[in-house]
Amino acid sequence: MVKNPSFSEAKKDDMTGLKVTNLCKIYRESTGEVNALGPVSFEVEAGGVLCFLGPTGCGKTTLLRSIAGLEKPDTGEVRIQSHPDGGEPVIGYVFQQGALFPWMSIFANLEFPLKVKSIDKDTRREKVESMLEMMRLSSFASSFPHQLSGGMQQRAALARSLVMEPDLLLMDEPFSSLDTRTSQELQENLRELLKKASTTVLFVTHNIEEAVYLAGKVIVLGHRPGRIVRRETIDLPDPRSRLSDSFTEYLVSLRKTFESLVSDQ
Amino acid sequence: MGRIGKYLPGLAIPCLLIVWWFAVTGGGRDTLLPSPEEVISVLFHPFQDLISTGSLAWSTLVSLVRVAMGFSLAALIGIPVGLLMGASRSARRFLSLMVEMARPLSAIALLPLSIIIFKAKTFSQLFGLQYLRYQKNLLNEMQLGMIFILFWGGVFPIILGTIQGVRSVRKMHLEAAGILGANRLFTFRHVIIPSALPDIFHGLKLGIGRCWMVIIAAEMLPGTNSGIGYLIRYSYQLSRYDIMLASIVIIAFIGALFSKGLESLGEKSLVLRSKER
Ligand SMILES: Nc1ncnc2c1ncn2[C@@H]1O[C@H](COP(=O)(O)OP(=O)(O)OP(=O)(O)O)[C@@H](O)[C@H]1O
Ligand SMILES: [Mg+2]
């Protein structure tokens, strides 16, 4: 077991997009310790989509934050494949609450990561506009976040992460405040987009259907401190149909795992 | 209700007071307190020379320009110092004891000391414009000591407001900026400053209110012979209570104008922050 947490980049020809070994996180507060996560170990192949399913408070956000480097894990190792041309991997993170900047228009929010990279103005405009188009937010380019519905804010936050063309995309319940229909539409968009890009995706949710629709692999976490209780490969042909028998089989089977978690508690 | 309409309810009590004032002093009675007509007549002739100190407009202008200078200096220094203290722990350690000790020292208490230090120098002397000395010129009225205490009165609310703004930036926004690749400088410029703006404006509003109170008090002290505060003291000595009351009305009006003005400037940033969900 690796004692000291360390971050390193996987070798270039390695086909592993993300490899996490023995990750463990304990929050130390004045009121005591909260054992929030793990240990968990897993890996995602480059360009793959992995989904973590788990009940509330089981450490899903903690897991994503540790991978993104926002939280220092107590033990374990995180390896992220480097950028195709050898540089630092670009990590996109969609926060559970969106975290859009309220003093900037939606356009300026999307432009932010491009400005950071000092990309020229015309290219920025072009990229932001095509991303807004894809997310069906074009008519809200000059609106401020508070003028958008919760679901639109989530979409804008997703757009802001995608516009940086990340190598690894981490998403914390990105569809949680969307109604079923919009959520499905957006999931379809995202699937299309991910197929084209070679982005490795890790997202967490407690919506089983979302997981089965989007992910290539699903991992179920148990109650806090989250540990892996089940790994499932979703072997469904493209395009995925929510009405197919095999889709429903996955749903039912994962639902059963979830129910047993509740009865264990 | 229109733009003016929303101020109407706030005028109800002042109107009642004026009616009462009229009732006790109006109708040509000879009372100690002047009637509203007399005060209004002073207010309606702002360019008339009063008790040989210059006109009401001139006195107001002198006070206003003094405040403009002292307040600008306070903002120019207070905002950067506040940003620095908010952002850097070591700057806070280095400066906060000094600020906490200096803050409760009333600006008025410092006026004599300040005049000693600056030797009653005015702007016209500072710039070597001696020939202005016997003319009526604003630069003759800008005593460095006076500007200094205005700076003193205004700078602390501005520093404290700015620190508060920087410190209350949401952790989530800082993390988002980091994830989106921004370095410290970029984050400071595009995340910390904009989200601190409402508090900075609040500090500026408190600061200008303080400056306005300080200048009136300072001008009432001996050794001053211009400005609206001086007009109050002098008209009182000559028992010209109509001029004294007119000056008070002007002071109240300008004070309200200052704070409303800064409020509306800060409103846009405030709106964005309070509507965040
Ligand atoms: N900064 C923190 N300090 C102390 N405890 C924390 C902190 N953040 C999270 N926790 C605790 O760690 C546990 C896991 O939290 P986490 O936010 O990772 O859960 P989650 O699976 O994302 O939940 P949800 O589905 O509700 O978003 C919770 O019990 C929480 O109370
Ligand atoms: Mg969470």
Q: Are strands A200-205 and A168-172 parallel, antiparallel or unpaired?
A: parallel
Which ligand 1 atom sits closest to the C-alpha of A64?
18
Which residue lies with its CA nearest to atom 20 of ligand 1? Answer: A57
Give CA–CA dist B270/B267, Å, rounded. Answer: 5
> Edge-to-edge, what's the strand order for the sheet holding A91-94?
A91-94, A168-172, A200-205, A49-53, A217-221, A228-233
Name residue A19's beta-bridge partners: A43, A79
pLDDT at B191: 93
Instruction: Report, as an integer, the average pLDDT of A26-47.
Output: 85
pLDDT at residue B88 is higher than 70: yes
As a whole-number percent, the residues of chain B with pLDDT over 90 amount to: 22
Residues with CB under 5 A from ligand 2 (ion): A 61
Q: Which helix (H) or strand (E) holds B224?
A: none
Per residue in A166-223, pLDDT (tens digit) is 889 999 988 877 777 878 888 887 877 777 778 889 999 888 888 888 888 889 888 8
Both structure tokens of B90: 């070591």
Largest CA distance in chain B: 76
pLDDT at residue A93 is higher than 50: yes
Are B47 and B124 in contact, with CB atoms under 8 Å apart?
A: no
Query: Which residues are CB-contacts of A164 (< 8 A; sequence separation ≥ 6)?
Result: A90, A92, A113, A114, A117, B180, B181
DSSP assigned state of B33: S
pLDDT at residue A13 is higher than 70: no
Ligand 1: which of A23, A52, A56, A62 to mutate, judged by most atoms within 8 Å of the beta carbon? A62
B14 versus B158: the higher-pLDDT residue is B158
Give CA–CA dist B92/B98, Å, rounded. Answer: 10
pLDDT at A124: 92
DSSP assignments along chain A, one per residue: ---S-EEEEEPTT--EEEEEEEEEEEEEETTEEEEEEEEEEEEEETT-EEEEE--TTSSHHHHHHHHHTSS--SEEEEEEEPPTTSSPPPEEEE-TT----TTS-HHHHHHHHHHHTT--HHHHHHHHHHHHHHTT-GGGTTS-GGGS-HHHHHHHHHHHHHTT--SEEEEESTTTTS-HHHHHHHHHHHHHHHHHS--EEEEEES-HHHHHHH-SEEEEE-SSSB-EEEEEE---PSSP-TTSHHHHHHHHHHHHHHHHHHHH-
Mutation target among B170, B179, B269 for the A interface, most CBs of A within 10 A: B179
Ligand 1: which of A61, A70, A265 to mutate, judged by most atoms within 8 Å of the beta carbon? A61
pLDDT at residue A74 is higher than 90: no
pLDDT at residue B39 is higher than 60: yes
Instruction: Report, as an integer, the average pLDDT of B158-169.
Output: 93
pTM value is 0.81
The torsion defined by the Cα of B199, B202, B208 and B213, in degrees rounded to 10, comes to -120
B101 versus A157: the higher-pLDDT residue is A157
As a whole-number percent, the residues of chain B with pLDDT over 70 amount to: 89
Q: What is the ipTM of this complex?
A: 0.85
Cβ of A217 below 6 Å from ligand 1: no
Query: Which residues are CB-contacts of A1 (< 8 A; sequence separation ≥ 6)?
Result: A22, A75
Which residue lies with its CA nearest to atom 22 of ligand 1? Answer: A61
Per residue in B221-259, pLDDT (tens digit) is 877 778 888 888 888 888 788 888 888 888 888 888 888
pLDDT at A4: 43
pLDDT at residue A7 is higher than 60: no
pLDDT at A111: 94
Which amino acid type is present at position A42? F
